[in-house]
A and B are shown apart, each in its own frame.
Chain A
Amino acid sequence: MDLEYFKLIDRILDLRIDEKTITVEARVPQHNTIFEGHFPGYPIMPGVLLIESMAQTSGWLLLALMKFQRMPFLAAVKEAKMRGFVSPGELLTIDANVLHEGSGYAMTEAKVRVDGKLKCNATITFSHIPFPHPDLREHMDAMAKRIGFPQQAIADD
């Protein structure tokens, strides 16, 4: 997890196109200035960043389903529930599945767990458009490589 660059996902563990599900992992940094303020003497991962981690996880799933032809953008977050504290150094396992694929938008459900225990969940809406700039597409391709996106998963169908 690289908080400074908003790269919250470390690795894709599982991607199932047919079932429209994804599982990723992300290690919360042990040290970061965020924890100096949030909170002194009691560092915990901010809820908004947990939501972002679920959004990015969902985003990779949608990118896969759309074969990297369109870019999803966060549009709405519903029913976001922070069910437990997440501490520096903890390993997040994040699951997402597609709730609905509409015309130009999609909805997902996502969950963050630590050691199997549910820490937060949300229903997330994305709008998606064709990649608006080649640099963004190039960036996402590089990111996909970095987190081990299984290209074969979208190659054959």
Chain B
Amino acid sequence: MSSTFDQVATIIAETCDIPRDTITPESHAIDDLGIDSLDFLDIAFAIDKAFGIKLPLEKWTQEVNDGNATTEQYFVLKNLSARIDELVAAKGA
């Protein structure tokens, strides 16, 4: 799996005290790992710092609330990792 996923999984494990080996690319941060919105702020902070980006949490939340996206698109870890890669690429462009 991508190194982005590995980094994200490590961040989640350390931030939320979740055993690393229970976190997979298919894990849904909210539904499977039980991470709530406040804990996710700590994860977002660590991801922002680690990758030098700014996860657009407000935009994502708005899209989900408006029915224009599903939580799976952003919070299943393989998808989250892909979004991070896109943000990193956009930053370097």
Contact = CB atoms under 8 A, between A and B. Distances in A.
A58 to B, nearest CB: 15
Contacts, number: 35
Interface string B55-82: 1111101000000000000000000000
Interface residues of B, number: 14
Given A76-B41, A125-B41, A127-B41, A100 B49 contact: yes
A102 B38 contact: no
Contacts of A127: 41
Contacts of B58: 103-104
Given A103-B56, A105-B57, A75 B41 contact: yes
B86 interface: no
A109 to B, nearest CB: 13
A107 interface: yes
B90 to A, nearest CB: 15
Contacts of A100: 45, 48-49
B20 interface: no
Nearest to B62: A104
Interface residues of A, number: 11
Interface string B31-44: 00000001001101
A103 B38 contact: no
Nearest to A105: B41
Nearest to B47: A102
Which of A75, A101, A104 gathers most chain B CB within 10 Å? A104
B38 A75 contact: yes
Contacts of B59: 103
B49 A103 contact: no
A103 B45 contact: no
Contact of B38 (A76, A101, A107): A76
Interface of B: 38, 41-42, 44-45, 48-49, 54-59, 61
19 contacts: A75-B38, A76-B41, A76-B42, A100-B45, A102-B41, A102-B44, A102-B48, A102-B55, A102-B57, A103-B44, A103-B56, A103-B59, A104-B57, A104-B61, A105-B44, A105-B57, A107-B45, A125-B41, A125-B42
- Top 3 nearest A-B pairs (CB, nearest first) are A104-B58, A103-B57, A103-B58
